Chain A
């Protein structure tokens, strides 16, 4: 990826841009420019597969050349016709407000969500949004209608941090709305037991939906640097606890690494894609992950 394009994917640079629509456009355009491909690659114009004609199909889509050679009627299907539904679930719990650098985890997650819905918009996928913490704060049904992108971006922009995280309730409600197979993208810091997380989100997978977990963490959360003993205050529970630099340097790191590994392995075991995102890393890695998943669904 060229440096110029990559520069616009730096979270610190994005944080200085006002307006999520512009951020999303900047991220996606920069990302695609790095791929050296057209943003319309393959979508709707590119041949995907043949399907046997069944009564009721539109005759306009019959490939008459094949019929001439084989005397069998096949319908020609294009990629654009494989449109899917993308549902972005954005965690707005208080812990997402943490930051050690220029960007909060929540802001980073907003950038990512914006970029994803924008990318979905380009691919003519219907996109939806759920903002949640211990309850569903905002919900926009997946749709490919005109103005959906702006609704989504506006909802992401207006999302506010709540208090605690509770995956069960939002995913229960998501299950009520998400009847159609599609891609569910869960963006969270996942400060929860991996078993609980996987058990909560797994039912979506059973319905044939693809599920992607974007695990957003601040570098300080992975490798905390405590120069001295500090009194830490839990942003969700307001619980205070004295932490020593030694503990933060040794046991904590082991525990968070074990948590990440546990979540990764359990997610993969459940057929859920898992991707760890550090807020000091460019967004293209996340987009590439999504893109790979999206291609797999064609």
Chain B
């Protein structure tokens, strides 16, 4: 027997309290008047003799209550033979269904092996079938019905996700800790090296888990694949279009491959490329013509191999004219747009052109025709303009709001109504979050000095992306309905800062422009399993829609009206219509880690097996000797409860007696 928290045993010292109550306090009673003490004698003996404990039963109840309470907190345990627990055994049959299992007949072989494992089990043995990719899916509950288990195995189909042994072990550990059962896990798959977690400790099995690995397929199967394709998702000028594809081979000899650029199932260009043995080669397609609209593109290699699905890499591309940005300025300050417009025009890949207008004319514009709106220190907006801009942003639009003296005079930021106050006269930039999509790749704002800075008080929930040196916000993102606002606590000219004169100004303008125009949301291709945002808030009642690679609608009615995201987990093209009405063509490719079919080496797999209980069929003796701590605090608390009730009963009885005596 032991204690999980032995320091709580110090609480047993509290039994001195009832002793004091019963021995000393009870003795010190109020004097009782008596007519004469001439027949009483003062004896030391009588004093000592009668300092005896009273109400021994009540005292013992109280002492027991305190001792048991201390014991309960100390959390006692006994090492029990875990025979009863470990005699119950659950067999886990886990089948890898990741993308690599599409190779040749691997999935068929894996299912056959799973059936063999199942058939080898004793008749009443509990078993559970799970499927493994980047997640764990329980295909059955623990069952001893072989028909249900076999049907579950038969239903397993390979998908386009990557497998993760770390995730598999984590699930086993949870089962080991939460079920009082001995686990016998059988993992059936191709045991790819790329499925191993970076840290071997993530493969540590639980103490009651025994793992058997069933390796399916060739250890070093050769495979070619289109590993990556780099192409802008939006093309504004076909003459500047550039597509780069990487062709990779694993366990392959040096060979030549024909690489084709396919657009809408039409091959528009082909090249031969020599791929070194187990190496990579790059192919570029330049200045190819893309018609207006969204298109399904592919890079294919030929001839195809035993894993044909990674011999083509899907991507989406959209040809469109540059989108307009409305730059609104306060009357008489037209030159303030100069730096911003110049920066946008310089960054041609943004696909944006700037239209400049005084804010007084803003009400005449249809804001929905603009990618976003820039409010450059416009001060107070008139009501129709403010209302129109709010409706535009809330409906999915975007705005860049810059703050200067005119806005400070009003005291509030347009649209967001955040409060502003004067800040330090001159200061630099403190910190910049370069991982934020709005400033991704922008770099630091070194040596930029801002004068007459403002202290912005953003709303709760706003994201501060950059800060001044004094810690006050410089760039803040706030949500407004389906849209978003970037608030820049300075202007975009050289009146209040020297920012436009620094090299960081151009990437800042280009990246925030891309971000606000929504360009970052539609990469040309995403890995299977990537979620796509359907709506920003559940309150958005308009329905979303997703059409899968097979042309079927993927969302149920409930999901169409309520789901915030949808996982794109199949190779091919998805047509997504968001709740705000925006349509996207999303290309999805299988995780290319799955294309490397190299099996983990035998030593690593053996080490992995040995992290668990290696005795798959323990001898009866070893089962009986196995012990595990079993906590007794529940029993202690039960006894505390019983003692408390008995103490109450006895105490009330004695109290009644004392009152009667008094």
A residues with a Cβ closer than 8 A to B are: 95-98, 105, 189, 191, 218, 221, 227-237, 239-247, 251-252, 255-256, 259
Kindly list chain A residues whose C-beta atoms are within 8 Å of the C-beta of B37. 232, 234, 237, 239, 241
Tell me whether chain A's interface is mostly helix, strand or loop, or mixed: mixed
Which residues of B approach A to under 8 Å, CB–CB?
Answer: 27, 29-43, 46-47, 49-51, 54, 661
Residues of A within 8 A of B46 (CB): 229, 242-244, 247
Cβ contacts under 8 Å, A247 to chain B: 40-41, 43, 46
Question: Of A228, A229, A255, which contacts B39 at CB under 8 A?
Answer: A255
Q: How far, in whole Å, are A215 and B471 apart by their CA atoms in the complex? A: 98
**Cβ contacts under 8 Å, B40 to chain A:** 232, 241, 243, 247, 252
- Given known pairs A229-B50, A242-B50, A243-B46, the reply for A235 and B35 (CB within 8 Å) is yes
Partner of A242, one of B33, B35, B38, B47: B47
A232-B32, A241-B40, A251-B41 provided; 5 other pairs, C-beta below 8 A? A95-B36, A231-B29, A232-B31, A233-B31, A235-B35
Q: Give CA–CA (A94, B291) in the complex, Å.
A: 123
- A228 proximity list for chain B (CB < 8 A): 50, 54
Q: Are B35 and A230 in contact (CB under 8 A)?
A: no
**Nearest CB to that of A234 among chain B residues?**
B37
Q: What is the chain A residue whose CB lies nearest that of B50?
A: A229
Chain A contacts of B33 at CB under 8 A?
98, 232-233, 235
A278 CB, min distance to chain B CBs, angstroms? 14
Query: CB distance A233 to B34 under 8 Å?
Result: yes
Contact between chains at A232 and B34 (CB < 8 Å): yes
Q: Can you name 14 A-B residue pairings with CB atoms under 8 Å? A: A229-B50, A231-B30, A233-B33, A233-B34, A234-B37, A237-B37, A241-B40, A241-B42, A242-B50, A243-B40, A245-B50, A246-B49, A247-B43, A259-B39
Which residue on B lies nearest to A98, using beta carbons?
Answer: B35
Does A230 contact B42, Cβ atoms closer than 8 Å?
A: no
- Let me know if B36 and A252 touch, CB within 8 A: no
| A248 to B, closest residue via Cβ | B40
Are A105 and B35 in contact, with the CB atoms below 8 A? yes
> For B27, what are the chain A residues with a Cβ–Cβ distance below 8 Å?
229
Contacts of B54 in A (CB 8 A): 228
Closest partner residue, chain B, to A245 (CB atom): B50
- Give bound CA distance, A97 to B35, whole Å: 7
**A246 and B49 alpha carbons, distance in the complex (Å):** 10
Collect the chain B residues with CB atoms within 8 Å of residue A221's CB.
35
> A232-B40, A242-B50, A247-B46 known; A191 and B31 CB under 8 Å?
no
The distance from the CB of A195 to the nearest CB of chain B, in whole angstroms, is 14
Q: How far is the CA of A256 from the CA of B37 in the complex (A)?
A: 11
Residues of B within 8 A of A245 (CB): 50
Asked if A244 contacts B50 (CB within 8 A), the reply is: yes
A residues less than 8 Å from B32 (CB atoms): 230-233
CB closest chain-B residue, reference A225: B661
Taking the nearest CB of chain B, how far is it from the CB of A163, in angstroms?
13
Q: Which residues of B contact A241 (CB under 8 A)?
A: 37, 40, 42
Closest chain A residue, CB of each to CB of B39: A255
Question: Closest residue of chain A to B661, judged by CB?
Answer: A227
Are the C-beta atoms of B31 and A240 separated by less than 8 Å?
A: yes
Q: Are B29 and A230 in contact (CB under 8 A)?
A: yes
Contacts of B30 in A (CB 8 A): 231
Kindly list chain A residues whose C-beta atoms are within 8 Å of the C-beta of B39: 252, 255-256, 259
**How many angstroms from the CA of A207 to the CA of B31 in the assembled complex?**
45
A234 touches B36 (CB 8 A): yes
Closest to A243 in B: B40
Whole-angstrom distance between the alpha carbons of A235 and B37 in the complex? 9
Please give, as numbers and ranges, the residues of chain B lying within 8 Å of A95 by CB-CB distance.
35-36
B47 & A191 in contact (Cβ 8 Å cutoff): no
Measured CA separation A189–B38 after assembly (Å): 12
A244–B29 CA distance with the chains assembled, in angstroms: 13
Given contacts A236-B36, A241-B37, contact A231 B50 (CB under 8 A): no
A110 to B193, CA, bound (A): 113
A259 to chain B, nearest CB (A): 7
CA–CA, A95 to B34, complex, Å? 8
From B35, B38, B49, A244 is in contact (CB under 8 Å) with B49
Most chain A beta-carbon neighbours within 10 Å: one of B27, B35, B43, B47? B35
**Bound-state Cα–Cα, A285 to B604, Å:** 112
Task: Write the nearest CB–CB distance from A186 to chain B, whole angstroms.
Answer: 17
A191 and B36 CA atoms in complex are apart in Å by 7
Q: Which residues of B contact A232 (CB under 8 A)?
A: 31-34, 37, 40
Chain B residues, CB < 8 A from A97: 35
Tell me whether A235 and B36 are in contact (CB under 8 A).
yes
Contacts of B47 in A (CB 8 A): 242
Report the bound CA distance from A95 to B41 in whole Å.
18
Chain B residues with CB under 8 Å of A237's CB are 37
Q: Across the A-B interface, give the 6 residue pairs with the lowest CB-CB distance, nearest first.
A: A229-B50, A98-B35, A191-B36, A95-B35, A233-B31, A255-B39
Residues of B close to A243: CB separation below 8 A? 40, 46
In the assembled complex, the Cα of A245 lies from the Cα of B34 at a distance in Å of 14
Whole-angstrom distance between the alpha carbons of A156 and B33 in the complex? 24
* Interchain nearest-CB distance for B310 vs A (Å): 93
Q: Give the Cβ gap from A273 to chain B, nearest Cβ, in Å.
A: 23
Q: How far is the CA of A239 from the CA of B46 in the complex (A)?
A: 16
Chain B residues whose CB sits within 8 angstroms of the CB of A239 once the complex forms: 37
Once the chains are docked, how many angstroms separate the CA of A257 from the CA of B30?
A: 28
| Chain B residue, CB-CB nearest to A259 | B39
Contact B50 A191 (CB under 8 A): no
Closest to B30 in A: A231
**Most chain A Cβ neighbours within 10 Å, of B30, B40, B41:** B40
Given the complex of chains A and B, what is the CA–CA distance between A251 and B661 in angstroms? 23
Q: Could you tell me if A189 and B35 are in contact, using CB atoms closer than 8 angstroms?
A: yes
Which residues of B sit under 8 angstroms from A240, Cβ to Cβ? 31
Min C-beta distance of A232 to chain B, whole Å: 4
A189 contacts across to B, CB distance below 8 A:
35-36
Are B42 and A218 interface neighbours, CB within 8 A? no
CA distance A84 to B661 in the complex (A): 48
